[in-house]
A and B are shown apart, each in its own frame.
Chain A
Amino acid sequence: MKCKDVDKLLHLYFDGELDAEKSKELEEHFLTCQDCAAKLQELENLEENARRIRMPEPSADYWKTFAERVRNEIIIRRKKSIWARLKSGWESFFFYSPVKLRIAAGIATILLVFIVGKLYWNYKGKELERVRSERMEKVLSIPAQQKPEIQTPAVKESLQTNKHAKETTFVQPKPSTVEQKALQLSASPESKPSEQAEKKVELQAPSESVISLAGEKAQGEKGAGESRAPELQKSITVTAERPKIEKGVTANLRTITQAEMVRQPSILPETTLYIPKLPEKKPATATTIVRAPTTVKKDERLLSAESIKYYKIDTNWVRALTEKDLLIEADTLKKVISSWIEYFEKKPVSEWAPEGFSQVKIAYELLFLKTSDDTLLQEGIKLLNRYKDSVTNQKTKDELAKKILELEALKKK
């Protein structure tokens, strides 16, 4: 055995913690190595001298009474009430102890983190709420700021006070021929007063969009209507509300639609109004389609809303499609098709809006691109052929034939 090994085992040997075999090896080494033997001797000297340390001897009385004092103390403590024990336990809890201190520090840290987190969360939540409300106020304030001046007292009167409605009045620069006819209809002195009062063109229903020919409401009497008609023909009051969002529309689209609807009044001057030729006796409540604004004012927050347009078919808002709308869901496309089919079935052929054909054709095209299902295209071709046979206008017939050809070409591809 080497001295290095002995160094490691010396204390174990000295304390009697080594087994007999190792102890024997060490003892043999001590016989040959004086240095290691000296180290052992040093340890023995230390212990011997340490044991020689003399202790003070308390008096004999102290020892006689020690056990008795312990007994008395136990009896006294036994007699202590539970409350006193609890109290002493509580007090002893506050005695300094590293473990207690660590536990207390840990609890304090957790509490602190919780409180700070809670405060921060509250602060952040309020901040977010404030920012959100500011944004909302901004968005809502746009139509109010852009509201054009009301030009005549009659128009002012015609502003509706529906609290759910957003209103604006604008001046139509030059009414189209169709619109002029409608206005003439409404301004006709031959109509009954009660009819005249209702002669605003309304688009009511779930969305409650109302487009009224202002001024007509103001015609309480026959003569008055005649005298004011030319002036009033120039102004139209539009009352529009947010449309109801139907199921199946994605959350993103919903948001855009709401924002767009809020801003609608400011951009309505560009609205195209389709009014069919009606028999004179019928009230002018037959406005069928309103195409939603084709251009939307740029807004950084609502940049994606630029390209989204809607058709108003009676009571429904139907998405206006273009060939570029490749990301629209199949459900939406099917819904567009069904809405237009319903529209064509409901209305007489003479009232059919030609835009419906384009929309149906585009919808089928997009559906085909999405699903690669030939039967869909075939269905579309069949539908358009049916409409082609039904329409009397040669120009519309040609357009429909062209569309059918396009669909067939796509099918061949």
Chain B
Amino acid sequence: MAEKKFKAGTEEPEDKLVAKAKKGDIYSFERLVERYQKKIYYLAFRMTRSHEAADDLAQESFIKTFYFLKSFKEGYSFYAWVNRICMNLTLNYLKRQKFTVTESQLPQGYLEMVEDTGKADASEELIRDELTRKIENEIDHLPAEFRAVFILKTYEELSYKEIAKTLKISKGTVMSRLFRARERLQKSLKGYL
């Protein structure tokens, strides 16, 4: 009944869904998952470059979030909380896997999966594709800690303070890691940028 009720209903405010989920309402929590599943999945994917790993990590992040929901303080961002859990799980996973992805490891037809958003002419698009692939490859080769900071800043657009909180490191460390990550990328992409 509850399921039907939620499915039929319109967008419920996040804080209400969280409050219900905290009381054990798993269907309210499902709504929250639906809301943030893509963002969490892509965060995990950017870090691991593996669909299977990203799928597992994203699911595990939500499951953990549900179990620790009682310690979640109302008024805070639910997504920031899931994001933090996901990033910690991903970093632990990478430490276990010593995960590094090379271009050859990427799934075949990977680029075909991506929507074509380019509007420039063919030759310019080719150059851009090459640069993007190069950047992607270089990001993948960054140490996990550097990559995490870079991803959280560039794609999640978090502030230094938020990144520091997510990764449980100091603001100074965030600045240092971000600077080094960018420096490495700039160095390896010299001539392209």
Contact = CB atoms under 8 A, between A and B. Distances in A.
A96 to B, nearest CB: 6
B179 A54 contact: no
Contacts of A67: 30-31, 33-34, 37
A395 interface: no
A17 B27 CA distance: 39
Contacts of B159: 15-17
Most chain B Cβ neighbours within 10 Å, of A11, A49, A54, A70: A70
A67 B128 CA distance: 35
B115 interface: yes
Contacts of B114: 54-57
Interface in A277-319: none
B122 interface: no
B42 to A, nearest CB: 6
B38 A63 contact: yes
Interface stretch (B9-17, B71-79, B132-140): B132-140
A46 interface: yes
A49 B33 contact: no
A75 interface: yes
Contacts of B154: 47, 50-51
A280 to B, nearest CB: 108
A83 interface: no
Contact of B132 (A11, A49, A68): A49
Contacts of A17: 159-160
A66 B111 contact: no
B107 A73 contact: no
B38 A74 contact: no
A50 B147 CA distance: 12
Contacts, number: 104
A85 to B, nearest CB: 11
Most chain B Cβ neighbours within 10 Å, of A12, A53, A56: A56
B54 to A, nearest CB: 9
Given A11-B175, A50-B154, A74-B66, A68 B30 contact: yes
Interface residues of A, number: 35
Interface in B16-75: 26-27, 29-31, 33-34, 37-38, 41-42, 45-46, 51, 58-59, 62-63, 66-67
A11 B155 contact: no
B193 A71 contact: no
A270 interface: no
Contacts of B117: 54
Contacts of A68: 30
B77 to A, nearest CB: 18
Nearest to B155: A51
Contact of B62 (A70, A75, A97): A70
Given A66-B37, A97-B92, A49 B131 contact: yes
B4 interface: no
A91 to B, nearest CB: 14
B55 to A, nearest CB: 8
A50 B30 CA distance: 32
A75 B26 contact: yes
Given A46-B186, A49-B132, A70-B33, A57 B153 contact: no
A73 B59 CA distance: 9
25 contacts: A43-B182, A46-B182, A46-B185, A46-B189, A49-B132, A49-B135, A50-B135, A50-B139, A50-B185, A53-B136, A55-B42, A55-B114, A56-B51, A57-B114, A57-B115, A58-B41, A66-B33, A67-B37, A70-B62, A71-B26, A71-B29, A71-B33, A73-B59, A73-B63, A97-B92
Q: Which 6 A-B pairs have the closest CB atoms?
A: A54-B114, A67-B33, A56-B113, A45-B193, A67-B34, A70-B62
Given A15-B178, A63-B37, 11 more contacts: A12-B175, A15-B159, A45-B193, A46-B189, A49-B128, A50-B155, A55-B42, A71-B29, A71-B33, A74-B29, A96-B96
